[in-house]
């Protein structure tokens, strides 16, 4: 019997997300597990995203671990599915306390308590609150109502939401995530690292500014320690910084790259930046530290749309960033969205045109549909932005599916636009005009006699059944090898420069 068992639910539609859903272990659960173990509790975890039979695997896991507390990680799109998993889990473990945490329930906590039947909901980051609640529930130390950052129902049904917990400032004080609880070799990208939290900007479609609040970062030494730990323990040599924007603190990003370079570790990595942060010096430093890809949010080719979404970038910065990054032998990966409240068919066409232009230059591109996730300024201001929600089903809230119409476009227009773009991309790759799989995540979405094609747009809903498809054994066995590392070392001459 263990004290706590964490469950990361599968993605509801593996046909669309399989490749991505098996990408990385859930770091949030890893952090909580490490904290709880340090506090003397026994912890187990299961990631159903890499399970071929999620329901029986979850039941076996609960039977084996017999936890006193079970905790679920909730994103918006798997909220509905997780409610069903919780019902099954409660049949298996009727006396076990049920916790919920993650971005969705941090905002929709009342439904999680009253509708879904969770006993405690954790709001925002939960490293310290989880230890405090476990100490109350397992050791009788203190009272729930005195713990900041949670919500629960009293016996008479009164909802108690305790004061919001201040986000942890000293990230170096946190232990490394307990990755040993997961089967690291089942992930495509086992080497995800969160080296900073939060973002100083407030793009209206992004949850970072309200979920993670202030920008905070770990020291380069602490981050490099995690890289070394993963390399030495599991042989991981490919890393992905999942920070909202890795280069927000430029000096720190440079220092991390420098430490990797000077260590001589044979590792490669990629990260997220912004086109307005891209300078030749910064990019050269990252490249010389073995960075091989930079992801950058462009979102739209229309300046009016960009301004209204508070993205604060310009189109010439996009072209300049592509030039700089490509010239250093790295891959720029630009992400775009269609369906912003101010988008029109014309602005969306311009966005798709800019995407194609970037692809022709050799950049990777990724197109998604703007989705109003709970907690985002967009979701909180639907009326202000002139948005009419067309679905209340949380499972529809994924980036490949439209959720609303505006006075400028209908929901179906977006569906068609994304589908046509995905098909064009597929055809270009199959015709050998593009040789860049990372730029075409759509290609991995399903098998077709002629290769891979994106899923057809569909309005079909089947809310009555538990929609977990069984996945074939396509999960890679061990993929901790360095992918397309394109660094041209000779071209990376370091120059003296002033600190930014």
Residues 6+ apart with CB under 8 A from 193: 223, 226, 227, 230, 239, 240, 241, 242
| Measured CA distances, 151 to 122, 142, 375, 427 (Å) | 7, 16, 16, 50
CA angle 19, 292, 474 (to 5 degrees): 20
Contacts with ligand SF4 in 215-244 (CB under 6 A)? 244
Residue 324 CB burial class (10 angstroms; 0-12, 13-18, ≥19): buried
Q: Which partner from the list ligand SF4, ligand B12, none does 331 bind, CB cut-off 5 to 8 Å by kind?
A: none
User: Residue from 48, 85, 97, 245 that binds ligand SF4 (CB under 6 A)?
Assistant: 245
**What long-range pairs does 223-231 form, CB within 8 A, spacing at least 24?**
223/193, 223/195, 223/256, 224/256, 224/259, 224/260, 224/263, 225/176, 226/176, 226/193, 227/191, 227/193, 227/260, 227/265, 227/267, 228/263, 228/265, 229/176, 230/179, 230/190, 230/191, 230/193, 231/265, 231/267
| Inter-residue contact 116 to 83 (CB < 8 Å) | yes
Q: CB of residue 398 vs ligand B12: minimum separation in angstroms?
A: 4
For residue 202, state whether it binds ligand SF4 (rule: CB under 6 A).
yes
For residue 75, state whether it binds ligand B12 (rule: CB under 6 A).
yes
CA angle 428, 432, 434 (to 5 degrees): 60
For residue 31, state whether it binds ligand B12 (rule: CB under 6 A).
yes
| Inter-residue contact 328 to 363 (CB < 8 Å) | no
Q: Which partner from the list ligand SF4, ligand B12, none does 245 bind, CB cut-off 5 to 8 Å by kind?
A: ligand SF4
Q: x/- string (CB under 6 A) for ligand B12, residues 242-261?
A: x-x-----------------
Q: Which residue, 150 or 275, has its beta carbon nearer to ligand B12?
A: 150
CA dist 478 and 383 (Å) reads 48
For residue 201, state whether it binds ligand SF4 (rule: CB under 6 A).
yes
Q: CB of residue 337 vs ligand SF4: minimum separation in angstroms?
A: 10
Taking alpha carbons only, the member of 229, 234, 127 closest to residue 187 is 234
User: Residue from 119, 127, 238, 421 that binds ligand B12 (CB under 6 A)?
Assistant: 127
Per rule CB under 6 A, count of chain residues that contact ligand B12: 43
Per rule CB under 6 A, count of chain residues that contact ligand SF4: 11
CA dist 227 and 235 (Å) reads 10
Q: Which residue, 136 or 380, has its beta carbon nearer to ligand SF4?
A: 380
Q: CB of residue 206 vs ligand SF4: minimum separation in angstroms?
A: 3
Which one of the spans 206-214, 251-259, 445-453, 473-481 is the region binding ligand SF4 (CB under 6 A)?
206-214
Q: CB of residue 243 vs ligand SF4: minimum separation in angstroms?
A: 9
User: Residue from 208, 253, 278, 282 that binds ligand SF4 (CB under 6 A)?
Assistant: 208
Instruction: Show the tokens assigned to 146.
Output: 């005195």
Q: x/- string (CB under 6 A) for ligand SF4, residues 251-290?
A: -----------------------x----------------
Q: CB of residue 465 vs ligand SF4: minimum separation in angstroms?
A: 35
Q: Which residue, 23 or 315, has its beta carbon nearer to ligand B12?
A: 23
For residue 203, state whether it binds ligand SF4 (rule: CB under 6 A).
yes
Q: CB of residue 298 vs ligand SF4: minimum separation in angstroms?
A: 11
Strands 150-153 and 120-122: antiparallel
Q: Which partner from the list ligand B12, ligand SF4, none does 364 bind, CB cut-off 5 to 8 Å by kind?
A: none
Q: Which partner from the list ligand B12, ligand SF4, none does 21 bind, CB cut-off 5 to 8 Å by kind?
A: ligand B12
Other Cβ atoms less than 10 A from the Cβ of 392: the count is: 7
CA dist 16 and 69 (Å) reads 32
Instruction: Show the tokens assigned to 443.
Output: 């290609």
User: Residue from 3, 5, 18, 21 that binds ligand B12 (CB under 6 A)?
Assistant: 21
Binding site for ligand B12 (CB under 6 A): 6, 11, 17, 20-21, 23-24, 26-29, 31-32, 49, 71-73, 75-78, 99-104, 122, 125-127, 130, 192, 194, 206-208, 242, 244, 373-374, 398-399
Binding site for ligand SF4 (CB under 6 A): 199, 201-203, 206, 208-209, 244-245, 274, 297
């Amino acid at each position: 019997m263990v004290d706590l068992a964490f469950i990361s639910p599968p993605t509801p539609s593996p046909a669309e997300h399989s490749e991505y859903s098996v990408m990385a272990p859930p770091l949030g659960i890893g952090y909580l597990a490490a904290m709880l173990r340090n506090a003397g509790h026994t912890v187990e975890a299961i990631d159903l995203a890499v399970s071929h039979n999620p329901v029986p695997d979850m039941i076996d896991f609960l039977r084996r671990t017999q936890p006193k507390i079970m905790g679920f990680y909730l994103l918006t799109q798997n909220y509905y599915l997780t409610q069903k998993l919780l019902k099954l889990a409660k049949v298996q473990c009727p006396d076990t306390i049920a916790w919920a945490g993650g971005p969705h329930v941090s905002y929709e906590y009342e439904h999680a308590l009253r509708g879904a039947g969770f006993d405690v909901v954790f709001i925002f980051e939960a490293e310290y609150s989880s230890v405090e609640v476990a100490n109350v529930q397992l050791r009788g130390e203190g009272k729930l109502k005195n713990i900041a950052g949670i919500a629960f129902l009293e016996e008479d049904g009164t909802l108690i939401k305790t004061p919001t917990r201040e986000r942890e400032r000293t990230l170096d004080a946190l232990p490394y995530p307990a990755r040993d609880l997961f089967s690291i070799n089942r992930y495509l990208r086992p080497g995800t690292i969160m080296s900073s939290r939060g973002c100083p900007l407030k793009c209206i479609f992004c949850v970072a500014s309200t979920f993670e609040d202030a920008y905070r970062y770990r020291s380069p030494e602490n981050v490099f320690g995690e890289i070394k730990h993963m390399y030495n323990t599991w042989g991981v040599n490919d890393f992905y910084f999942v920070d909202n924007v890795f280069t927000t603190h430029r000096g720190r990003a440079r220092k991390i790259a420098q430490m990797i370079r000077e260590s001589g570790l044979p590792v490669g990595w990629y990260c997220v930046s912004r086109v307005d942060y891209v300078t030749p010096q910064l990019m050269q430093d990252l490249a010389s530290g073995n960075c091989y890809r930079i992801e950058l949010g462009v979102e739209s080719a229309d300046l009016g749309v960009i301004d209204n979404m508070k993205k604060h970038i310009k189109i010439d910065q996009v072209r300049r960033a592509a030039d700089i990054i490509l010239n250093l032998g790295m891959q720029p990966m630009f992400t775009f969205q269609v369906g912003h409240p101010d988008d029109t068919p014309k602005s969306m066409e311009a966005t798709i045109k800019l995407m194609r232009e970037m692809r022709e230059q050799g950049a990777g591109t990724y197109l998604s549909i703007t989705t109003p996730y709970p907690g985002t300024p967009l979701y909180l201001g639907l009326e202000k932005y002139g948005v009419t929600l067309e679905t209340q089903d949380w499972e529809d809230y994924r980036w490949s599916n439209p959720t609303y119409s505006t006075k400028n476009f209908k929901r179906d227009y977006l569906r068609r636009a994304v589908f046509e773009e995905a098909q064009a991309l597929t055809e270009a790759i199959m015709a050998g005009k593009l040789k860049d799989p990372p730029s075409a995540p759509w290609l991995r979405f399903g098998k077709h006699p002629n290769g891979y094609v994106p899923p057809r747009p569909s309005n079909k809903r089947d809310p009555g059944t538990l929609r977990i498809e069984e996945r074939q054994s396509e999960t890679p066995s061990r993929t901790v090898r360095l992918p397309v590392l394109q660094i041209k070392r000779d071209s990376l001459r370091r120059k003296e420069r002033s600190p930014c």
